[in-house]
Structure 1
Amino acid sequence: MKISIIVPTHNRMSSMLTLAEALNNLDYPDYEVIVVCDSCKDDTKKELEAKYGQQENWQILEVEKAGPAKARNTGARLAVGEILAFTDDDCIPDNNWLQVIRLNLEGNPNIVGLEGLTYTYKKEVTPLTHQIENLDGNPAVPTCNVAFRKSTFEHLNGFDETFPYAHNEDADFAWRMREVGEIVFVEEMKVCHPPRQESFSKMKSRMKILESEFLLYYKNTNLYHKYRNTSPWITIYWEVFFYHQIMNLKSTFKYFFKPKLFLGGLKLIFYWWIDLILLFPKYFASNFKYQKQFQS
Structure 2
Amino acid sequence: MVEMSERHTVSVIIPAKNGGQLLYNLVYTLLKKQTLTPSEVIIVYDGVLDEYIEKILEMGGKVIFSGERKGANRARNIGVEEAKGQILVFTDEDCIPSSTWIEKIVEEMNQLNVEAVAGSTFMANPQFFFSRYLDESVLTSSPKYSKRIILKNDYPPGVVIATCNFAVRRDAWKRVKGFDEEYKWYGSDDMDLGFKLLKAGYRIACSPKPIVYHFHRTALTKILKRYFQYGQGFAIYSKKHPESSFTRISRAGLLATFTWITSAIIMVLGGLIYPPLAVAGALMFALPYLGLLAFYFKKKKTKSLKATIIYPLLDQILAFSSSLGYLHQNLSMKLKTNNKT
Instruction: Compute the TM-score of the two structures, normalised by the length of structure 2.
Output: 0.68
> 2:293, 2:83 → 1: CA distance?
40
Q: Deviations over 1:157-209 (max 9, x none)?
A: 11000024221111100011112211012222222224x34333322333431
Alignment partner of 1:193 is 2:214: yes
Q: How does 1:128-147 map onto structure 2 within 5 Å?
A: 130-131=134-135, 132-136=142-146, 139-147=159-167
Q: Deviations over 1:205-246 (max 9, x none)?
A: 3343112222211211112xx2x1427642323368776997
Contact between 1:3 and 1:30, CA under 8 Å: does it hold in 2?
yes
> 1:230, 1:125 → 2: CA distance?
34
Alignment partner of 1:93 is 2:113: no
Q: Which residue of 1 aligns with 2:239?
A: 218
Which amino acid in the other structure matches residue 165 of structure 2? N
SS in 2 for 1:203: helix
Alignment partner of 1:13 is 2:20: yes
Q: Which residue of 1 aligns with 2:121?
A: 118
RMSD of the alignment, in Å? 3.9
Instruction: Compute the TM-score of the two structures, normalised by the length of structure 1.
Output: 0.77
SS in 2 for 1:116: strand
Q: Deviations over 1:6-30 (max 9, x none)?
A: 1112325232122122111212255
> 1:290, 1:216 → 2: CA distance?
17
Q: Which has the higher helix share?
A: 2
Which region of structure 1 is more displaced relative to structure 2, 230-239 or 266-275? 266-275
**Measured at CA, do residues 103 and 285 of structure 1 come closer, stay the same or move farther in structure 2, by a change above 3 Å?**
same
> 1:191, 1:9 → 2: CA distance?
17
Structure 1 residue 134, shift from structure 2 partner: 1.8
**Measured at CA, do residues 157 and 229 of structure 1 come closer, stay the same or move farther in structure 2, by a change above 3 Å?**
closer
SS in 2 for 1:61: strand
**Measured at CA, do residues 60 and 134 of structure 1 come closer, stay the same or move farther in structure 2, by a change above 3 Å?**
same
Q: In the alignment, which of 27, 33, 44 is matched to residue 36 of structure 1?
A: 44
Q: Deviations over 1:125-180 (max 9, x none)?
A: 52366553423466431011111001111111110000242211111000111122
Q: Which has the higher strand share?
A: 1
Which region of structure 1 is more displaced relative to structure 2, 271-280 or 122-131? 271-280
Contact between 1:27 and 1:96, CA under 8 Å: does it hold in 2?
yes
Structure 1 residue 282, shift from structure 2 partner: 2.5
